Amino acid sequence: MNKEIKLIDWGLIEYNQAWTQQESIFSETINRKVEGMDTENVLVFCEHPHVYTLGKSGDEHNMLLDYIQLQAKEAVFVKTNRGGDITYHGPGQVVGYPIFDLANFGLGLKQYINMIEQAIINALSFYNIFAQRMDGATGVWLDVGLPTCRKICAIGVRSSHYVTMHGFALNVNTDLNYFNYINPCGFIDKGVTSIEKELGHTVDMDELKALLRNAIERQFAG
């Protein structure tokens, strides 16, 4: 079983282009697996121009802007085939798309999501940000159980043949105003935050990506 993780950084890329490229790697991985060949585990990092994406189980009413208003915000709206509800992607956010063959790690989907969440929690601890999981909701949160509870990382995954795609979106130096135009992930009573907001200064994206990569590799090395 191949536990090595190959990193690809696409930089700033349109959401639909990244989705197409993900699907290509995803399909190739599944084809190799079905044919009994070795499979790679690919971790993609990227940023997207302003875009709102809705998961297959999501509610369009959580998108609070109409088409004209979206254009005014230089944003687009895309329905996707991942799990989860609505979320926002934009510049200053690290989006991670792990295209992993979970059989290489002996994992089920729930374990996999927990391990991605834990890797992000571990990376955030470098900045002395104490993050947690929240019962009944995927992603990574701060101040769980308090009125100040807020989300710093969204997660939405698709899998087939135990191969994953889509992934996580970690708010780093993100313009959080864009979250005002949706009910993030369907929640109307929870806030959204970023590393920049928590620290009071911008964060080096390359440093953060290196921390994330190391945290994910350590988590899945087991």
Q: Which residue numbers are catalytic? A: 185
CA distances to 24, 78, 98 from 116, rounded to whole Å, are 22, 24, 9
Nearest to 179 by CA among 46, 50, 18: 50
| 55 Rama sector, left if φ>0, alpha if ψ -120 to 50, beta otherwise | beta
Count Cβ atoms within 10 A of the Cβ of residue 161 and give its class: 0-12 exposed, 13-18 middle, 19 or more buried. Answer: middle
Q: Are 96 and 167 spatial neighbours (Cβ–Cβ below 8 Å)?
A: yes
Measure CA 106 to chain center.
22
Q: In angstroms, how far is CA 99 from the centroid of its own chain?
A: 12
Give the integer Cα–Cα distance in Å for 197 and 60.
28
Neighbouring-strand partners of residue 11:
46
What CA–CA distance (Å, rounded) separates 173 from 196? 5
Question: Residue 33 belongs to what H/E stretch?
Answer: helix 15-34
